[in-house]
Amino acid sequence: MNAYTENFSRRRELGGACSAYYQGERVVDLWGGVRNKRTGEPWEQDTMVIVWSATKGLAAMTLALAHSRGWLDYEERVCTYWPQFAQEGKERVTVRQLLAHQAGLFAFGEPVDRQVVADLDRLATILARQKPAWEPGARQAYHALSLGFYEGELLRRVDPGHRSLGQFFQDEIATPLGLDLYIRLPETIPNSRLASLSPPGPLEMLLHFPFRLTVDSMNRRSPIYRALIINPGASVSLDSERIYARNLEVPSGGGVGTARSIARAYSVFATGGRELALRRETLDLLVAPAIPARDGFRDACLHGDLRFSLGFMKSSAAWPFGRAGSFGSPGSGGSLGFADPAAGIGYAYVTSQMGATLTGDPRDVALREALYASIQPSRVPPT
């Protein structure tokens, strides 16, 4: 509790929530501050917020469930499930390579806007026509938005019901677990339940945002600009009147929910997956170390040695979280969700005040450190 209150007094928190499960039991459930800086409306127990790329972990859960049901093999070629994908040199791309940001498909070579994103058949045709930026498997480059669209079509192909990724997540994960968590936010959610994001201030950006990424974000030819800022751009998930877009799926960055629900979902993955009938084989693969591209883990978009595996980010020296084997996904501005099977922990932090630190927001780090310090060392295996 002290770390949480200090976020407001010392770390410029505006409003947010933190939740953690330990061995299947909820042990942390904190929320407070304001959900809208302009109006001062309070952050309530059921307030939801967009979590940007932390959505990638939720999308990866759907493919893990497909793997556990025998519909999908991570080592198989994507075109085995999606024949049209085998264009422009992509015929040998494996599911594992795609989910590890190693397919060279971080940007689109033709226009993609909200209308295209909403039309899954049209989007699939465009995805299949894309040409990799380099030989698939050779390098790693963060597929900031595109990854989720590829995951969505892959899931549609293997699911016997041919559901969209957002619908599958709702039917097979969110509803069974009772989660306030959406990859496809419905019309029925009122604005009063949604937090509005406040961007980081200029001084914070200057002090904490990497200079090279700042330069790249203004260079229309840079990989990160092409991956995140344009076509369709991260703002496709926002709506000027409804706060967030409704009935639109952006599985790499449009997830909306509570910290409590994100932590609960990861808790299931951290404690054996019984509630979702996850197979041990699947969970063992999620815990296993990431496999690098031919040229290593150096990311061409983010300029860091980051590790991705099966749709999740893995803990690493550059971006540490949890203990050995942990997997999850951070989101721009500070949000984070992850599973730590070694400790039996499912964790999530969300906020309405975006930060500028890319490798662990100070507010989140303080909360995680307090959580792990509170657990008896004898009950948590060492890293």
Confidence of residue 269 (pLDDT cuts 50, 70, 90): very high
380: which residues sit within 8 A by CB, 6+ positions away? 323, 342, 343, 372
Per-residue CA distances from 250 to 7, 151, 182, 217, 268 (Å): 30, 10, 11, 21, 23
Instruction: Name the average pLDDT for the chain.
Output: 95
Residue with tokens 């957002």: 166
What is the structure's pLDDT at 377?
54
Q: Mean pLDDT, to the nearest integer, of 94-98?
A: 98
Digit-coded pLDDT (tens) for 162-182: 999 999 999 999 999 999 999
Residue type, 60: A
C-alpha–C-alpha distance, residues 280 and 294, integer Å? 29
What are the residue boundaries of the structural domains of the chain, listed by start? 2-375
Please tell me the pTM assigned to this model.
0.96
- Residue 255 pLDDT more than 50? yes
Angle at which helix 55-68 crosses helix 146-158, to 10 degrees, equals 20
Q: Mean pLDDT, to the nearest integer, of 209-218?
A: 87
C-alpha–C-alpha distance, residues 100 and 66, integer Å? 17
C-alpha–C-alpha distance, residues 252 and 123, integer Å? 15
CB atoms within 10 A of CB 119: 12
- Residue 55 pLDDT more than 90? yes
Class of domain 2-375: alpha beta
Digit-coded pLDDT (tens) for 10-23: 999 999 999 999 99
Q: Mean pLDDT, to the nearest integer, of 319-326?
A: 95
